[in-house]
Amino acid sequence: MKRFILISALLSLASICRAQPPDVRVHLLSLYRLSQVQIDPAAGTTVVSRADSSPRDLTAEFTVRARDNSVEASGHTAKKLLLHGDFRIVSQSAPVQHIQGVVEISAQHNALRIVASIPVEQYVADVLQGETAGNMPAEALKALAVAIRSYTARFRQRHHEEGFDFCDTTHCQYLRLDPQPTVVSAARQTAGELLWDKGTPLAAYYHKDCGGRTEAAATVWPDQSSSALVSHDDPYCVRATQPWRSEIARADLDRALAAAALHVPLGWNRITIAERTPSGRARTLRFTVSGAQQSTPVSASSLRFAVGRTLGWNTLKSDWYEVAAQADHFIFTGRGVGHGVGLCQTGAAEMARQGKSYREILAFYYPGAPLGQSAQAIPWIVSQTQSFELRVVNSADTEIVRAAALSALAWADERSGLSLRTRPIVEVYPTVAMFRDATGEPGWIASSTRDDRIRLQPPNVLRARLPRILRHEFLHLLVEANAKPDTPLWFREGLVVYLGGDPPAAEQVKMSGGEIDRAIASRRSGAEMRRAYAQAAAMVRDLDRQHGRAKIIVWLRSGLPDDIRAGSIVSAAHKVAK
């Protein structure tokens, strides 16, 4: 439990930097089945071939080959290679990939799998480059950067079972490495900003051209209903959109249908639109034989994907069209490009040209979705006690947390002899992900206290630790509410840990009060942080033994004497610890 106390103390700092999200793992060259690639390293590139091996510097080109479920390089075989640095991946059949970072190369069934670990903001820029080639005004690029970042946060686990987060195609988000400066700038100027949907990152879909009216997400993906993803007119796209026409031979349609395993009547010669979505797009088609009663319904989106995979993605650009037969060909005349949900790149560019900011663009295409770096618009269920306000999302958590919090606050009051000046707020998050998004803490942190607000992971995650966590957090609130503003951090945090009842023993290495403050405030390595908290708690324990509890509480409120404030009792605390 000593380790738990110290970890809990970490999350109680008044000023906490947001945790950096983990890198995005992207399957590069996922459309290509590569059996070998050439690695062309720059200075400083290293390779690790086994978990127990040390990095080796690379100075010359070498070839990586797939050998069943292993990789071979320079005569050595391993399950995977880990490359770090600046290098190019070259093959005869795929585009060159210039990497500046970390790549893992493994193999499955004689095909290489190349997975790059890309920092989130770099990934946003790479996708923005891939989706736009940088050919948009600056404010439109910034709006799309926010949409890309939100989509990334929402669908991070899309390919989790396959060992990576996203592929590099339009199935996920298309990306191009080495983005141009204007694209990097758009990502940097919106860094960390997300759109939110009831405390969860918004499924911020985007597309090339809505044709003058966007589509509702629930129409395309029934499980993605959101008030921020509804169908509405787009007067900006109307100004810039261009109609399209596509002529497809029946034989080519047959080939696309067969490749997608879409079954239609033998000898069909007619396509009709049987049903449209509320926005006017085709929802269901019917394939029939002239003079026969037999017909087969086919989803319009299924036909578009089948045609795209077989005949090219520009053949049927959207589901918004009319269709007519002409001899053995079918003429599709339509408007729009893509599914039509969310941000329309054509309309966003036009809005930017008219002087609209990226925030105005986002508000137009995602109405009602708040913008921020932490979770927004959480649907709290609020209840009051005489001592605190309780906020939950799952009503079943109310009684569990209320009883534990009342008991913990009473314990902390009695233990410290202190009282709160305001009514604190206890927020209980329904998922670890929402807790992380709202607080900026990593998932291994159990709770977070800032100002007068305690934030907790779900009770079913905390389980038996909940009472102890709440006792610690209420102690922190009590200490902070009663501390003189310039009270050193080592004293405040040490007092919380000490009053918690089980402070760890101080280590043999001495730390001054200033060193402890700097270590705690910097959130350095776990070992150094544990040592800092242990020393702080030992120093407060020594003060309690020398001067008594009543005196240290007086000092908390009125200020520490100068010699104690500087942490000069560290030697005494060190002797006690021995």
Per-residue pLDDT of 423-478, as tens digits, reads 999 999 999 999 999 988 888 889 999 889 999 999 999 999 999 999 999 999 99
Kindly report the average pLDDT of the chain as a whole number: 90
Q: Of 341, 287, 503, nearest to 415 (Cα)?
A: 503
pLDDT value for 505: 64
pLDDT value for 507: 59
- Bridge partner list, 37: 64
Q: 132: helix, coil or strand?
A: helix
**CATH superfamily assigned to domain 2-18+378-482:** Collagenase ColT, N-terminal domain (3.40.30.160)
Average of pLDDT values for 198-221? Answer: 97
pLDDT value for 565: 82
pLDDT value for 530: 82
pLDDT value for 20: 67
| pLDDT band for position 290 (cuts 50, 70, 90) | confident
Q: 311: helix, coil or strand?
A: helix
Question: pTM of the entire structure?
Answer: 0.84
Say yes or no to pLDDT of 345 above 70: yes
pLDDT value for 525: 59
Q: Tell me if 519 sits within 8 A of 10, measured CB to CB.
A: no
Nearest-angstrom CA–CA distance, 480 and 184: 41
pLDDT value for 52: 59
Say yes or no to pLDDT of 366 above 90: yes
Q: Tell me if 23 sits within 8 A of 445, measured CB to CB.
A: no
Q: Which residue would you say has higher pLDDT here, 484 or 566?
A: 484
Packing angle of the helix pair 570-577, 526-547 (nearest 10 deg) = 100
**pLDDT, tens digit (0-9, with 9 covering 90-100), for 48-69:** 876 657 788 888 899 999 999 9
E strands, 263-342, are 270-276, 282-288, 295-299, 321-326, 329-334
pLDDT value for 413: 95
The residue extents of the domains of the chain are: 2-18+378-482, 24-118, 121-239+340-372, 244-334, 489-577
List, as one string, the DSSP characters of 411-478: HHHHHH----SS--EEEE-SSHHHHHHHH---TT--EEEETTEEEE--HHHHGGGHHHHHHHHHHHHH
Least confident of 366-380, 388-402, 416-430, 532-546: 532-546
pLDDT value for 285: 97
| pLDDT band for position 293 (cuts 50, 70, 90) | confident
Phi, psi of 118 (to 5 degrees): -120, 125
SS (H, E, C) 499-563: HCCCCCCCCCCCCCHHHHHHHHHHCCCHHHHHHHHHHHHHHHHHHHHHHCHHHHHHHHHHCCCHH
Lookup: tokens for 219:
């129409």
pLDDT value for 54: 76
pLDDT value for 506: 59
Say yes or no to pLDDT of 106 above 90: yes
Residue matched to tokens 């690639």: 37
**pLDDT, tens digit (0-9, with 9 covering 90-100), for 280-289:** 999 999 999 9
Ramachandran class of 134: left when φ > 0, alpha when ψ lies in -120 to 50, beta otherwise: left
Report CA Rg, the chain.
30
Q: Tell me if 254 sits within 8 A of 287, measured CB to CB.
A: no
Q: Which residue would you say has higher pLDDT here, 526 or 494?
A: 494
pLDDT value for 10: 39
**pLDDT, tens digit (0-9, with 9 covering 90-100), for 495-517:** 999 999 866 665 555 788 888 88
